[in-house]
A and B are shown apart, each in its own frame.
Chain A
């Protein structure tokens, strides 16, 4: 076919070519390369020559190791199922009924999802642990021994209460998008309420439930803080194993930890593929012309429909209250003695300021990069698809698939040797933040951009404003709300990041999250609570302020 190519300018004069190139370079350097070095690392060992399956053999022959695999699957599958059980009804009541205090429950759900990763575990230990206040209360007054919070059950409960908001948010988003005429139509045809829910509502929202469930699964599988605190000596999960093995393999190169990392990535990847295949076969694209109306209920019914979101969010928000209360209590070594004090805060001294300074410097530097790269990248994905758009999209999934501790390990094995030595620096922590938290911003910005009328940009160019100037003057400007809500999530999750930064920090780089977590692990519960309270409070204030500004338009 005859084409006169003279009409299209050479690729290297196109700014978007350079933007895509830059994004690829960043991802190759800080995701693909480290990940490949880790793979190579997994097939090497000090116990064997050259290429070897030694590490995998060891993993699958020792119960100590493969037991962790089953544990991990258990504490991912169970919270996923429980989250569906909590999230779907909550979404249904919240979108369909005039629940009291709707906004409050919604905000609380977001706050629990965005809370520091070890917070739930810590608070539940404080309440139901061996010396926990509830445990003691039952023991002393009724002589009842509460079931243990440590191990499988406790981890599952804590993870569920933290992660169910994924299901709730995804599902309620889908429920709001069902055109009311569809349900009215079913009603017209004489379907009862339950039948209507099963035949109309469920099929339409199932893909969203699945997407939310997948997020729960991947986050639970990757979670490091909770099983570390609640696992005790004999319940290990894979991320814990990675951390322990790396730091106990004295002088080792993390060969065994790398092998474990590969196993965990294979599981997440597998789940992701299954979900993609399943969703691609049932994709109901909907745009509600008339969003469904709230049902007005009164009196006792209204109380009942409110009770569901209230109870769920109460228990999921409880840890944050517990931590704040604990932070003002006097301690005696590793347990609280009940009096009121500010010592936990004042005792932190210089350590607090270092932690605060680190937290805010790292997360703020990261967020500046995330915003700039995010704006450019989402534009390239949505408007300049070309042949590489799909690849960019795929790269964005990577941070969800690769757990934080795995990325941390990748960075350690790659960047503590030449040509690029970065371990022990603040830069490596910031880079890990950028790679892991960029997707929030890109996703939110692209979703926003997709709904923006492209002819506004064209009009500007058409009126004589050059494309790049138009981009910054019009497009980027109009994208800001989408970028903003995404960037807030990126920022808050950076502040609360634990699993990756704890592998990369050398003490002087400790952030608030790392400091709080290490104190808790070392049984310095008072100062840990103080740090955690500061952290929670900061995240909550940022999120609530952002929700105000965006009028609630922050979607995870």
Chain B
């Protein structure tokens, strides 16, 4: 039975909490609007305390928004209690029922729905097969490894065939290796089932690896929403650029135009960068330069002085000073390249097309 996929829409959502210390109200989530397409995998990414969990819990119905409306598909769901919402959540702590075995944990949501016994059995076994836990039906949950418990939690959420799957840092209790294999697993299962998934994490590589779209949050507001590439190559703010990957920020003033390029003066050098709408001569701009986008040469770019040179295996790590600005860069595959030593003066080169102007 094919279910109609549903998206999720947040319309000017705010959540106000009281600071337990000062007793003052503050916005944990502020005036957030989002549109999540049916069948897509979206991650909420941001530093600790930025409101990711709060947003997710509002979608699940554990918190009710103080302002705004949440839609599941076309239906407004603010009024629905969590048990009436067509969402299923996978918790960070797995939240398995300790007094049930694996089979009963997975069957738990179905039993309530008065699904006939043999159908329950079929569906549970099918899902357990999907998460590769066949043969573990009789185990109690404390006899499972962390990764297995996580898969039971996932199976339990999937088996009720919700419209939307919600994840709150589901992998943060696992070790690094398992985390990587589990995330591939989650992505595979999501695509196989074709379900809409919203995933909270503060691990950026997890977000990159999993998502169709990433939503970067900061202090209760959405800083940027876009595909991983958009976010990485065209961050809208220093915050986003810095949060995703490493970034160098070079500050400069626009001194003129050169065809379709803008000319910036940065630390006494002039640089042609791609123009974008509304750039004006005389104004200050910041460019974002990713460490892997630049390299060192004897001449031809911005003069600089090496302050750190460190072999990292797959790349040589440099810190250089361009005027008063520190720039970090990674020279990949350094084996056959000239290695610059500390205190050498040289030149920082990069393709102006690969920088992004804020």
The interface of chain A, by Cβ under 8 A from chain B, is 1-4, 6-8, 453, 455-456, 458-467, 469-470, 474, 477-478
Contacts and interface: CB of A to CB of B under 8 A. Distances in A.
Contacts of A453: 93, 95
B163 to A, nearest CB: 13
Interface of B: 16, 25, 60-62, 64-68, 78-79, 81-84, 87-89, 91-93, 95-99, 108-109, 112-113, 153, 156-157, 160
Contacts of A2: 66-67
Contacts of B60: 458, 462
B65 A7 contact: yes
A463 B65 contact: no
A460 B153 CA distance: 11
Nearest to B113: A464
A466 B82 CA distance: 8
A464 to B, nearest CB: 5
A356 to B, nearest CB: 36
What 10 A-B pairs are tightest by C-beta distance, nearest first?
A: A463-B109, A7-B64, A459-B95, A455-B95, A455-B91, A456-B95, A7-B78, A462-B89, A3-B66, A461-B82
A456 B78 CA distance: 23
Contacts of B84: 464
A432 to B, nearest CB: 36
A4 B66 contact: yes
Contacts of B91: 455, 458-459
Given A3-B67, A458-B82, A465 B97 contact: no
Contacts of A6: 78-79
B25 A465 contact: no
Nearest to B84: A464
A463 B66 contact: no
Contact of B96 (A1, A456, A464, A466): A456
Given A3-B16, A8-B64, A458 B89 contact: yes
Nearest to A480: B99
Contacts of B156: 459, 463
A465 B109 contact: yes
22 contacts: A1-B25, A2-B66, A3-B67, A4-B65, A6-B79, A7-B64, A453-B95, A455-B95, A456-B95, A458-B60, A458-B62, A458-B82, A458-B89, A458-B95, A459-B97, A459-B156, A462-B87, A462-B89, A463-B83, A463-B112, A467-B83, A478-B99
In this complex, the member of A8, A453, A463 whose beta carbon has the largest number of chain B beta carbons within 10 angstroms is A463
Contacts of B95: 453, 455-456, 458-459
In this complex, the member of B81, B88, B95 whose beta carbon has the largest number of chain A beta carbons within 10 angstroms is B95
B97 A461 contact: no
Contacts of A478: 98-99
Given A2-B67, A462-B60, A462-B87, A7 B79 contact: yes
Nearest to B98: A478
Nearest to A2: B67
A2 B16 CA distance: 10
Contacts of A459: 89, 91, 95-97, 153, 156
A462 B109 CA distance: 9
B186 to A, nearest CB: 17
A3 B82 CA distance: 20
Contacts of A474: 97
B108 A463 contact: yes
Contacts of B79: 6-7
